[in-house]
Amino acid sequence: MTVTALRRLTKYNRVLLALYWLADDEGLICAATNAGIARAAGVSAATVGNCLRNLESEGTVAVYADKGLPCRVIVLLDHPEAATLVRKAEKARRCAIGPDRSFKLYTTFHGRLVKVLA
């Protein structure tokens, strides 16, 4: 393994650990921004974006973003409840993070936003 590959792996592991560190109490979701994850991991925000894409392609995390709201939720897929959350998130139209960092999914039903998961 080259020095460059080893450095990339180290940054990748630091980002992964930061995701778990910044996750909710159950270890299911992380709602931190790239900047917040970067501060916790000691890497740049661009590195966090690259690592998140790699983690998502490997199936370690699932990232859900709402284009209409400044919201992004990272689901840590090794949690026992992750499969249920992913199924609900794929059906949902919007997501929101509450002031207490609670995660909510919404879908449309007869033209109204309906809460799917609190």
- Structural domain count of the chain: 1
pLDDT value of position 38: 93
Domain hosting residue 54, numbered range = 3-117
109 or 55: which leads in pLDDT = 55
Residue 96 sits in a domain whose CATH number is 1.10.10.10
- Laid out side by side, the sheet with 112-117 consists of 94-97, 103-109, 112-117
pLDDT value of position 26: 84
Helix (H) or strand (E) holding 64: strand 61-66
Q: Give 18's pLDDT tier (boundaries 50, 70, 90).
A: very high
Q: Which pTM value belongs to this model?
A: 0.71
